[in-house]
């Protein structure tokens, strides 16, 4: 079917609730209230590393208005963690960073909660604090998690301490190839710790009923993971835990709670509700979010590449030291992905990469949008320009020469079916005016390209149910939360298209783990791909059920029928129609209801990819910047983001994802960073000191959508959620290099850092 033939798909529809979102009319979790609801709060460690000798809650318990005080002793002796289970919901013996939860209180007012928290006496034995992962790996460093064994795959010879997980990638003969190279370029890059800083605070309301059911109203991105973790940590059957999610004001992985970034938030609130026998609401304030919840972990990358004179890359060696903070969190995931992404989107025949995910006494690494992406792509794509410069090659030409193409195999063994990298790069070069516009002094253009998803697999399965109502409208159940990505619009577009009904007659309901099909959560750029695909199949299933009912009634064959405009029509007979409402109502007197089911099945997709090849997402960004050599200020004048999205189901939502991702990436490039002092205390926990990208640094962004290289999503759509925020740091750094000849290898590119680098360069040159 041609794009123009679709009624909804491929056209622009504004996300439902957008106006309410920006006018503040939405009801978020924090606006909710339940009769008899208490407020809860957490006592957090003021030490970055300490042993807990004793906790005395007696005074807090006896305060009027206090309903429950809980410590580790009140919780089951169960630890959590993605693969390395190293954490209790409330610290049991030791604390590992400033902000680590130690106790919690439920009381009749927030003031009483705070008073009670102040009255809990914790006796700590302070321990040596390690903030730098390289220091943490040294033999003389203290062992943070004494009871966590070293990674089983860590080679015998490596004596590094505090390694949480280890990743090694070895392809062919990197040492030999490196030795044969005409030029070997070696650099060290550093990315900083940033917070995902969604605007809506993390909130949960826990309610425990007489039947032993715990209901959690929360703004999580991963309600089913919350359910599963709460069930395990509080020792309740999964069927007794219900997680409800309504509006969510951004998440960016920071609200992908349960697995890694939970910091035990929902389980602690659940524990309080169970003990208090009253509903408890817990809201984190901004500084608490910053110090205590999950962050994008900082990383240090040593990268070395051997090339031939003609620009052909022969070998890559790299070492990644990834700081996961006080607990494993999502460090193993993000660090692992970062390590694998250090090959970039290039054909590199010989590779050796070592990745170390290391514990320190800092905030815990979470699955922040594009986990591992910035930590790998900032080094890789900066490094590409460095090599091109050393080879005296045009960076676009150097990339084109080495880029992955059709038929290439990526390290996970999958062959690529279509590769649009070249097209994204050429389009970006054309749009930004590379080689065409005359650059003024201190003006420069930078590029960065990447792929996303092909290397990372297809995530777990997902499902959708489409219920067709008696008036021909439909209600759709999926397990993914729309926290801003407009999946709540993509799904109705798909369902309306396939059922042949009005888009305003499709309702997508809020996620309730009791009723929605299981889903891993809104993560991994998979929302439209997985749930959109499942919803499409569910709608087709429902349509077929309706057609069968109509075929019986109209006495025709099912294949002679089509659903369009709310009607089931006999093809070729304009007057032979049956309203969908009639067919849907007829079902009431048979099976009750037309319910279509569709699933997203990663196992099947992987098998097909093995047979026919994979087609992941690709993108190239380009920016034109102006550097002020006297202040170090970098102005981004133009920003082009070219994305191969396979098929844009809702183009304006795709553009929104690109623009939002670019702004977030520019934040990491230009201004955002969490700063700590040498005791591990965060120096800038609020927006007063933590600089977020705002309108005054946001350039004119031109999102360019490439279609045609079809992906695994519905109608050939590919994921777009994460990739846009991964590229900007490298793009800007390359543009600064192009403008000034100064290579900056440490993020963020603040005026101070840029100015320092320019002065350093001048000093060297003079």
Cis preceding-peptide flag for 748 (omega within 30 of 0) = yes
CB nearer its own copies, residue 27 or residue 179: 27
Nearest distance in Å: CB 345, its own copies: 27
Nearest distance in Å: CB 200, its own copies: 16
CB nearer its own copies, residue 144 or residue 568: 568
Residue 411 touching its own copies (CB under 8 A): no
Give how many residues touch its own copies by CB under 8 A.
Answer: 66
Stretch that binds its own copies, among 86-94, 164-172, 190-198, 590-598 (CB under 8 A): 590-598
Query: b/e map of 391-409 (b: 16 or more CB within 10 Å)?
Result: bebbbbebbbbbbbeeeee
**186 within 8 A of 364, measured Cβ to Cβ:** no
Stretch that binds its own copies, among 15-23, 138-146, 352-360, 610-618 (CB under 8 A): 15-23
SS3 302: strand
Q: Which two tokens stand for residue 590?
A: 């048979």
Residue 732 touching its own copies (CB under 8 A): no
Stretch that binds its own copies, among 250-258, 583-591, 618-626, 731-739 (CB under 8 A): 583-591
Q: Which two tokens stand for residue 41?
A: 């709060």
Which of 517, 660, 665, 724 is in the footprint of its own copies by CB under 8 A? 517
Residue 506 touching its own copies (CB under 8 A): yes
Q: Which two tokens stand for residue 226?
A: 């919350």
Nearest distance in Å: CB 242, its own copies: 8
CB nearer its own copies, residue 279 or residue 685: 279
**Euclidean distance between CA atoms 613 and 418, whole angstroms:** 8
Which of 245, 534, 538, 747 is in the footprint of its own copies by CB under 8 A? 534
Instruction: Count CA atoms within 13 Å of residue 199 on its CB side.
Output: 12
Q: Which phi and psi angles does 688 have, rounded to 5°?
A: -65, -40
How buried is 142 (Cβ within 10 angstroms: 0-12 exposed, 13-18 middle, 19+ buried)? middle
**Euclidean distance between CA atoms 313 and 473, whole angstroms:** 57
Contact letters (x/-) for its own copies, 32-71, by CB under 8 A?
A: xxxx------------------------------------
Give the footprint of its own copies on residues 172-211 (CB under 8 A): 209-211
SS3 732: helix
Contact letters (x/-) for its own copies, 422-461, by CB under 8 A?
A: --------------------------------------xx
**294 within 8 A of 363, measured Cβ to Cβ:** yes
Nearest distance in Å: CB 537, its own copies: 10
497 is catalytic: no
DSSP letters for 344-371: TTB--SEEEEEEEEEE-SSPPB---SST
Cα 460 to the center of its chain, rounded Å: 15
Handedness of CA 202, 203, 208, 214 (dihedral sign): negative
**186 within 8 A of 379, measured Cβ to Cβ:** no
Residue 91 touching its own copies (CB under 8 A): no
Stretch that binds its own copies, among 119-127, 300-308, 393-401, 512-520 (CB under 8 A): 512-520
Which of 3, 12, 14, 31 is in the footprint of its own copies by CB under 8 A? 31
Helix, strand, coil share of the chain (percent; to 5): 30, 25, 40
SS3 56: strand
Residue 213 touching its own copies (CB under 8 A): yes
Report angle CA 69, 248, 728 to the nearest 5 degrees.
115
Nearest distance in Å: CB 39, its own copies: 15
Residue 602 touching its own copies (CB under 8 A): yes
Which of 63, 184, 540, 595 is in the footprint of its own copies by CB under 8 A? 595
CB nearer its own copies, residue 17 or residue 65: 17
Across 81-147, the runs of DSSP E, i.e. the strands, are: 94-95, 101-107, 121-126
Residue 17 touching its own copies (CB under 8 A): yes
Summarize as ranges the residues that interact with its own copies (CB under 8 A).
16-17, 19-20, 25-27, 31-35, 209-211, 213, 228, 231, 237-240, 242, 460-463, 465, 467, 469-471, 473-475, 477, 479, 504-507, 509, 512, 514-520, 534, 587-593, 595, 597, 599-604
Return the active site residues.
Answer: 722
């Amino acid at each position: 079917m041609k794009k123009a033939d679709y009624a909804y798909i491929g056209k622009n529809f504004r996300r439902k609730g957008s106006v309410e979102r920006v006018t503040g009319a939405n009801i978020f979790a924090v606006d909710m209230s339940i009769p008899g609801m208490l407020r809860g709060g957490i006592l957090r460690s003021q030490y970055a590393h300490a042993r807990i000798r004793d906790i005395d809650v007696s005074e807090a318990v006896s305060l009027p208005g206090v309903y429950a005080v809980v410590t580790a002793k009140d919780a089951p002796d169960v630890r959590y963690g993605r693969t390395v289970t190293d954490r209790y919901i409330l610290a049991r013996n030791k604390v590992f960073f400033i902000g680590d939860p130690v106790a919690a209180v439920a009381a009749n007012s927030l003031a009483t909660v705070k008073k009670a928290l102040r009255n809990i006496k914790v006796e700590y034995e302070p321990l040596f604090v390690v903030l730098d992962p390289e220091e943490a790996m040294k033999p003389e460093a203290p062992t943070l998690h004494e009871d966590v064994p070293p990674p089983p795959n860590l080679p015998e010879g490596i004596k590094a301490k505090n390694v949480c997980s280890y990743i090694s990638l070895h392809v062919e003969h990197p040492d030999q190839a490196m030795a044969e190279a005409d030029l070997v370029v070696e650099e060290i890059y550093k990315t900083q710790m940033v917070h995902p800083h969604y605007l809506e605070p993390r909130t949960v309301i826990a309610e425990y009923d007489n039947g032993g059911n715990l209901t959690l109203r929360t703004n999580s991105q991963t309600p089913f993971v919350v359910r599963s973790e709460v069930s395990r940590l509080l020792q309740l059957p999964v069927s007794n835990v219900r997680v409800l999610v309504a509006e969510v004001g951004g998440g960016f992985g920071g609200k992908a709670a349960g697995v890694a970034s939970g910091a035990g938030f929902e389980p602690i609130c659940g524990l309080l509700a169970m003990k208090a026998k009253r509903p408890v609401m817990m809201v984190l304030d901004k500084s608490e979010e910053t110090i205590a919840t999950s962050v994008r972990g900082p990383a240090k990358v040593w990268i070395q590449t051997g090339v031939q004179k003609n620009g052909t890359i022969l070998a890559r060696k790299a070492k990644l030291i990834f700081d996961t903070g006080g607990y494993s969190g999502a460090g193993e995931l993000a660090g692992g992905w970062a390590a694998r992404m250090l090959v970039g989107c290039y054909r590199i025949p010989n590779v050796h990469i070592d990745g170390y995910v290391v514990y320190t006494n800092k905030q815990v690494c979470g699955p922040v949008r594009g986990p591992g992406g910035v930590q790998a792509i900032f080094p890789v794509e900066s490094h590409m320009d460095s090599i091109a410069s050393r080879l005296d090659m045009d960076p676009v030409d150097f990339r084109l020469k080495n880029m992955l193409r059709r038929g290439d195999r990526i390290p996970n063994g999958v062959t690529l079916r279509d590769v649009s990298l070249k097209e994204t790069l050429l389009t970006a070069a054309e749009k930004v005016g590379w080689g065409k516009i005359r650059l003024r002094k201190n003006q420069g253009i930078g590029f960065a390209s990447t792929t996303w998803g092909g290397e990372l697999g297809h995530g777990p399965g997902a499902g959708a149910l489409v219920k067709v109502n008696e008036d021909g409208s439909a209600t759709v159940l999926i397990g993914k939360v729309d926290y801003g990505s407009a999946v709540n619009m993509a799904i109705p577009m798909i369902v309306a298209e396939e059922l042949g009904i009005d888009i305003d007659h499709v309702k997508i309901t809020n996620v309730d783990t009791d009723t929605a099909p299981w889903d891993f959560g809104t993560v991994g750029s998979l929302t439209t791909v997985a749930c959109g695909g499942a919803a499409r199949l569910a709608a087709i299933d429902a349509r077929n059920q309706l057609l069968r009912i109509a075929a019986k009634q109209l006495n025709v064959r099912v294949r002679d029928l089509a659903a369009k405009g709310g009607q089931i029509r006999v093809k070729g007979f304009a007057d032979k129609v049956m309203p969908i409402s009639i067919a849907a109502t007829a079902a009431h007197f048979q099976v009750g209801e037309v319910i279509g089911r569709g699933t997203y099945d990663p196992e099947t997709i992987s098998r097909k990819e093995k047979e026919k090849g994979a087609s992941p997402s690709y993108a190239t960004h380009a920016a034109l910047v102006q550097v002020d050599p006297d202040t170090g200020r970098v102005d981004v004048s133009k920003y082009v983001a070219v994305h191969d999205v396979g098929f844009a189901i809702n183009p304006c939502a795709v553009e929104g994802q690109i623009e939002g991702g670019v702004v977030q990436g520019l934040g990491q490039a230009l201004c955002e960073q969490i700063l700590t002092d040498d005791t591990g205390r965060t120096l800038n926990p609020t927006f007063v000191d933590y600089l977020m990208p705002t309108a005054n640094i946001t350039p004119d962004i031109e999102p360019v959508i490439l279609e045609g290289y079809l992906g695994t999503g519905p109608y050939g759509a590919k994921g777009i959620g994460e990739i846009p925020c991964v590229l900007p740091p490298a793009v800007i750094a390359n543009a600064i290099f192009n403008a000034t000849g100064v290579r900056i290898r440490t993020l963020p590119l603040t005026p101070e850092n840029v100015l320092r680098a320019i002065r350093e360069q001048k000093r060297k040159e003079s």
